Amino acid sequence: MNFIKKIFENKIDEQVHNQFVKFGKGIFKHKALIDITITAKAVKIKTTPEYANGMVVFLANTIKDDTTKVQVNGIIFAAKDLSAESPIEFEEIKNAMGVKKHIVNKELTKHQILELHEKFPLNPLSLSFETEYGKLKIKEKAPKSGKPGKGDKKPKADYCVLITTDKSILEDYAFDIKEPFKKTFIEHTIGIDEIIVPEEYKNDFAKARIHAKRKGKITRFLTIDEKESEKETNFEV
């Protein structure tokens, strides 16, 4: 289940919390974009970076067993060298603008992919691979904040692309759309009104940022075959 659906269904967990670690107080527009196209043969889901780690975990879980290996290519971004903690050996580690790019280019098992996420839940996993279920392509660029579209155009959702023939995936990414559709664009505005820092972390900024709870409201804007609607919910994560 993706983190937006969890918020609207009030099923807050660590995955949801991790999405909000980077936020302070304020209004944040053009977040968690989803662009869905349905054809007779497949469902194509394009998103912004917020969904990358969740998509990696989701697709890894479609690998049938732990004896099967799939070719995985991509980058794990981090501020420090992750080699000592990593369950796999990286092909190379490059430095770019203060960010370490851990290059992945090897066959991995289901367990190895999931362990990467378990070890580095706060790091962007820009990993591309294919299973019998579908194909995931994630850009090998450091994630950036969403920007408004130019003129009347919608902002772009093209960092992650997941293609599958399984239309039941719409129950996750288009969970609140009940009628059939061919194309849907979804974006969110996140408003954070209050940050609650546990007493034991008040004198440690780094830990306070990670462990603090955020309270606010999320507004979901949907364009379903050119018909617009919106809904909102309060949250504490």
pLDDT in tens, 55-86: 999 999 999 998 999 999 999 999 999 999 99
* 88 and 116 co-located in one domain: yes
Decide: 120 and 127 in contact? Cβ < 8 Å.
no
Minimal CA–CA distance to 193: which of 42, 18, 25? 25
Q: Read off the pLDDT of each residue in 152-156 and give the average, rounded to a whole number.
A: 79
* 42 and 73 co-located in one domain: no
Q: Which residues have a Cβ under 8 Å from the Cβ of 49 and sit 6 or more positions away? A: 124, 143, 144, 159, 160
* 44 and 112 co-located in one domain: no
- In a domain? residue 218: yes
* 25 and 89 co-located in one domain: no
* 187 and 227 co-located in one domain: yes
* 131 and 190 co-located in one domain: no
CA–CA separation, 120 vs 76, rounded Å? 9
Range of the domain at 37: 1-48+175-237
* 56 and 137 co-located in one domain: yes
- Which of 145, 167, 193 is the C-terminal boundary of a domain? 145
* 58 and 102 co-located in one domain: yes
* 227 and 199 co-located in one domain: yes
* 122 and 69 co-located in one domain: yes
- Alpha-carbon distance values, 215 to 13, 33, 188, 191, 195 (Å): 14, 21, 16, 8, 6
User: pLDDT tens-digit profile of 168-214?
Assistant: 999 999 999 999 999 999 999 999 999 999 999 999 988 999 999 99
Q: Is the pLDDT of residue 116 over 80?
A: yes
- In a domain? residue 227: yes
Look at residue 146 in the predicted model and tell me its pLDDT.
Answer: 64
- In a domain? residue 169: no
Look at residue 97 in the predicted model and tell me its pLDDT.
Answer: 85
- In a domain? residue 151: no
Decide: 105 and 73 in contact? Cβ < 8 Å.
yes
- Would you place residue 144 in the very low, low, confident or very high pLDDT band (cuts 50, 70, 90)? confident
- In a domain? residue 167: no
- In a domain? residue 215: yes
Look at residue 1 in the predicted model and tell me its pLDDT.
Answer: 84
* 126 and 191 co-located in one domain: no
* 180 and 215 co-located in one domain: yes
- Which of 145, 162, 196 is the C-terminal boundary of a domain? 145
Q: Is the pLDDT of residue 28 over 80?
A: yes
Q: Is the pLDDT of residue 147 over 70?
A: no
- In a domain? residue 229: yes
- In a domain? residue 66: yes
Number of domains composing the chain: 2
- Which of 127, 145, 163 is the C-terminal boundary of a domain? 145
